[in-house]
Amino acid sequence: MENGFLKFVTGLQHIGIPTNDMDATIVFYKAIGFEVVYQTVNEAADEKVTFLRLGNVTVETYENKSAALVDGAIDHIALDVTDIEAVFGLAKEKGLQMIDTEIQFLPFWQNGVKFFRILGPNKEKIEFNQYL
């Protein structure tokens, strides 16, 4: 059964994990086989950001100095999409709980990314993300 999203979602992009100590986080993920694939600073949030990858799993960790440090502290999962505007429209049309009232942009990777987030029934954040 086609629900609209299946036409645009191509898979898991990353899992977002906040950290209070970027260096320790990188050391840990490297110890279990991940490689650093991209590092930057999110100027708007004043956060160091590192993407680590193992096979087809990518973790985005960002040093926000307010990580909860409790079970269940993963902040979000992000899904790759092919048409962020169409997915944004579908989310609004279906009445999903929007965190972002408009599509956002970050200058990450080569050409930047567009994204928006919704809130799931367990207060989990789902981020729809398109590389530009």
* Residue 119 to residue 47: CA distance in whole angstroms: 22
101 DSSP assignment: S
Q: Which of 84, 12, 105, 21 is nearest to 53 (CA)?
A: 12
Domains and CATH numbers, the chain: 5-131 (3.10.180.10)
Q: Does 112 have pLDDT greater than 50?
A: yes
C-beta of residue 98 within 8 angstroms of C-beta of residue 80:
no
- pLDDT confidence of residue 72: 75
> At residue 28, what is the residue type?
F
| pLDDT above 50 for 11 | yes
Q: Is the pLDDT of residue 1 over 60?
A: no
* Cβ-proximal residues to 28 (8 Å cutoff; 6+ apart), any chain: none
d(CA 25, CA 62): 10
Structure tokens at 117: 């987030």
What pLDDT, on the 0 to 100 scale, is given for residue 2? 58
Q: 19 or 68: which carries more pLDDT confidence?
A: 19
2: Cβ–Cβ under 8 A, 6 or more apart, which residues? none
3-class DSSP state of 54: strand
